[in-house]
Chain A
Amino acid sequence: MTDVVRAEWTKLRTSPATVWAVLAVAVGTAALSALAVTTVRCPCAGDPMTLTLVGVQLGQAVAAVFAAGVIGGEYATGMIGVTFAATPRRPAVLAAKALLVSGLVGGAGAVGVVAAWAAGHAALDTGFAARPVFGSVLYLVLVALLGLGAATLTRSSAAAIGLVLALLYVAPIVIGTVGDPDWKRHLRQWGPADAGLAIQASTGLDSLPIQPWAGLGVLGLWAGAALLAGAVSVSRRDT
């Protein structure tokens, strides 16, 4: 397994896209948050923490693109055939990729989220709360894993990104238009973005459709299911 991880690391390390993606996750997250918090003045009646960490909504797209490209790029160039010839235990390749993606997105996400929080704290005096801040980093990691799983399933970065962004960006909008409050609540409990972002709430937990950690768990289920489906399909299918 160490060899597989080392091989994957070499591929990632030498790809210029990796550096750009890691930078973009951190900068995108911090920049959108810094912009957003300049638009309001507190004391605020809403939850300043969700606005402070809004940059995650941009960072997640970059994280998903990066993760999808890690395997989608290999399918695009045919490299995947070489990879699987070298490592016939295909799920191990996927696991190594997941490990490295988690580490890179986790590191970049931590820098971006902490910078976002610092900007928010300076502007809105939000104070520090561990769950929203560290939870947002975990959220970014889980979104990246969802992207990796989706790209393994679809064997195409673009199709995977279409699916993931539909889940992350479009689903909340469509759920918002659902008329029936019960249905809306249930959908918010099971939508990956709506449930996962519950981790950012610092106040008013009673009015949330799902509790913070449970919500992040739902996103974890989505990511896990995508990776599992990817692992199964990659073992059965031709490259």
Chain B
Amino acid sequence: MIRAEWTKLRTVRGWVAALAGGLLLIVAFSVAPGAGGTCDETCRLPTGPEGQEVTDAFRFVHRTLTGDGSITARVTSFTGERDAGPGRSEPGLVPWAKAGLIVKDGVRPGSSYAAVMLTGAHGVRMQHDYVHDVAGPTGPRTPRWLRLSRDGDTITAAVSDDGNRWRTVGTATPDLPSTVEVGLFVTSPQHAEVSTKVFGLSGASGGPSTATATFDHVGFEGTTAAGWRTQQIGGPSATSAVAGTDGAEEPRPGPPQPASRSSARDGVFTLTGNGDVAPAVSGANGLGFSVTRTLAGTFVGLVPLVVVGAMLVTAEYRRGLLAVTLAATPRRGRVLAAKAVVIGGVAAVLGVAGAALAVPLGTAVMRGNGLYVNAAPTSTVVRMVLGTGLLLALCAVFALAVGTVVRRGAVALTAVLGLTVLPYLLAMSVLPARVGDWVLAVTPAAAFAAQQSAVEYSFVDNLYVPSAGYFPLPPIGGLAVLLAWTVVAFTAALVLLGRRDVR
């Protein structure tokens, strides 16, 4: 019976052309968005010890430590300044501004580290190797004592209110050599917020920020080769001045950047920094384009698949062929299942093939044009490719089911595209971010989460909004929502097909 349905599908020339066109469109649009850029080797993000792209820019006052040892300091003040619209700035720390102590494998951006820090609004934290974050005590920010000690491979972070009674924040075992750089650091990431009062992309605001911290009672134990040195790790430009964010916002000129600076007087250090020590993110606070962009053609390829999916049954209704089909196979449920297997299988193969071609081709074209494309792990790319196949297969079966229910190709098509593509379009354009998130969690459009390549981190401020490539649901969850819609529609189709007359 599957062969019978396959024969029907493959012998309609227009349908075959539409399906082949769908595949072509998926691939063609992956190479189309390649606009020109001026990115070369110099605007590459560093890679952290665990393979992620990272941001590593901060003000660093440090000395060399060989073997075991510790550093202690009191933070007496921690203030900041942030962008407040074009050309203006206002005082205030951004939530993830950081000031504290760090032990690092040299001064190369992207190298292994462990740090204990005060943050703008998230209390004391211990972080290491960019993607690990442990919360310490909250409470009043300054003055506060911090200590970072090394014992073999283990780094221990501790905090104290008075310098006598210490409380351990956490321990970590980053892969550090025996000689490391130890010292004070200050940094402050781009600030970003979503206003609920504003719609769509214009609801996002943000800009550069700086933080200034004063340290005293700096104590150092251990073997050192040299005195204190001051250095800017990374560049402020690495996080704020490179054009090309993934959202639709153009980079906005912020207030004049105060040069990162530091001063030391009578054992009191004052550091001003800008940047972040964290995993890199896509979107407003990120840099470059995500791999997801190469799959923009999925939306175009989806249309012919949905057309064929709906017409596979509505055309039979229209021409009366369904009566013949059902006379040949009186078990009507099986006919519908066979159709679903055929169109779903074809859509899955086309989706996987299209995405498997589109991702490497599109990435190569964008890189060739000088655009910076965020690296995605192979596992993510595989998930995106398979997810695209599943997404298209489910949409095609969904269209088949809706077509069986409404028995009109054009109406079924409108219903399916209106439920899958329209919510996505509205979430990207006019809806406020919060509502867009909701819409992309309950409609079949949730399944586009399978194509998300950007990773969300709870300890990195960013606009985690759909327009920046962040879906509210995880890939599996998004596909499950579409699956649920498809199952409901398919069940309704089975019931109605069983009950109704065929004409």
Contacts and interface: CB of A to CB of B under 8 A. Distances in A.
Q: Do A and B bind each other?
A: yes
Interface of A: 36, 39-47, 50-51, 54, 57-58, 61-62, 64-65, 68-69, 72, 76-77, 156-162, 165-166, 169-170, 172-174, 176-181, 183
A25 to B, nearest CB: 12
A152 to B, nearest CB: 14
Contacts of B58: none
Nearest to B305: A162
Contact of B371 (A36, A45, A179): A179
A54 B430 contact: yes
B478 interface: no
Among B310, B371, B410, B430, residue most surrounded by chain A Cβ atoms (within 10 Å):
B410
Contacts of A62: 414
B300 interface: yes
A151 to B, nearest CB: 8
B417 A172 contact: no
B317 to A, nearest CB: 10
A158 B197 contact: no
B428 interface: yes
A68 B409 CA distance: 11
Contacts of A42: 197
A72 B318 CA distance: 12
Given A39-B432, A57-B422, A174-B29, A50 B199 contact: yes
Given A61-B418, A165-B414, A170-B303, A44 B198 contact: yes
Interface stretch (B31-39, B150-158, B260-268, B340-348): B31-39
B410 A68 contact: yes
B299 A58 contact: no
B197 A165 contact: no
Q: Which 4 A-B residue pairings sit nearest by Cβ, starting from the closest?
A: A180-B35, A158-B409, A179-B35, A157-B410
B493 interface: no
Given A158-B409, A160-B410, A58 B418 contact: yes
A199 B416 CA distance: 27
Given A45-B198, A173-B299, A158 B35 contact: no
Interface string B279-315: 0000000000100010011011011101100110010
A172 B425 contact: yes
B413 A166 contact: no
Contacts of A157: 408-410
Given A161-B410, A165-B303, A177-B296, A51 B425 contact: no
B199 A170 contact: no
B203 interface: yes
Interface of B: 14, 18, 29, 32-37, 195-200, 202-203, 244, 248, 250, 289, 293, 296-297, 299-300, 302-304, 306-307, 310-311, 314, 318, 366, 371, 408-411, 413-414, 417-418, 421-422, 424-426, 428-432, 434-435
A46 B198 contact: yes
Contact of A43 (B196, B197, B202): B197
A76 B200 CA distance: 41
Among A41, A50, A173, residue most surrounded by chain B Cβ atoms (within 10 Å):
A173
A47 B425 CA distance: 17
Nearest to A35: B435
A65 B410 contact: yes
Contacts of B18: 162
A46 B429 contact: no
A126 to B, nearest CB: 13
Given A44-B199, A51-B431, A62-B414, 7 more contacts: A40-B435, A45-B198, A61-B422, A158-B413, A172-B429, A173-B424, A173-B425
Given A46-B200, A177-B293, A165 B35 contact: no
Contacts of A69: 408, 410
Nearest to A183: B35
A158 B310 contact: yes
Nearest to B294: A177
A96 to B, nearest CB: 21
Contacts of A47: 199
A77 B318 CA distance: 8
Nearest to B289: A179
Contacts of B250: 181
Contact of B35 (A54, A159, A173, A178): A178
Given A61-B414, A169-B417, A76 B371 contact: no
A179 B29 CA distance: 12
A40 B434 CA distance: 10
A201 to B, nearest CB: 11
Given A158-B314, A169-B425, A39 B435 contact: yes
A178 B430 CA distance: 18
Given A44-B197, A178-B33, A165 B289 contact: no
A224 to B, nearest CB: 22
B318 to A, nearest CB: 5
B296 A173 contact: yes
A199 to B, nearest CB: 14
Contacts of A68: 410
Contact of B199 (A46, A176, A178, A179): A46
A45 B426 contact: no
B410 A174 contact: no
A192 to B, nearest CB: 14
Contacts of A173: 296, 299, 421, 424-425, 428
Among A41, A51, A158, residue most surrounded by chain B Cβ atoms (within 10 Å):
A158
Contact of A40 (B196, B310, B409): B196
B199 A169 contact: no
Given A174-B29, A177-B33, A65 B422 contact: no
A165 B417 contact: yes
A30 B238 CA distance: 47
A169 B421 contact: yes
Given A36-B431, A170-B300, A174-B297, A54 B426 contact: yes
A159 B279 CA distance: 46
B296 A174 contact: yes
Contacts of B304: 162
Given A39-B431, A65-B414, A180-B35, A76 B318 contact: yes
Contacts of A64: 414
A43 B195 CA distance: 12
A65 B197 CA distance: 35
Contact of A45 (B37, B195, B366, B418): B195
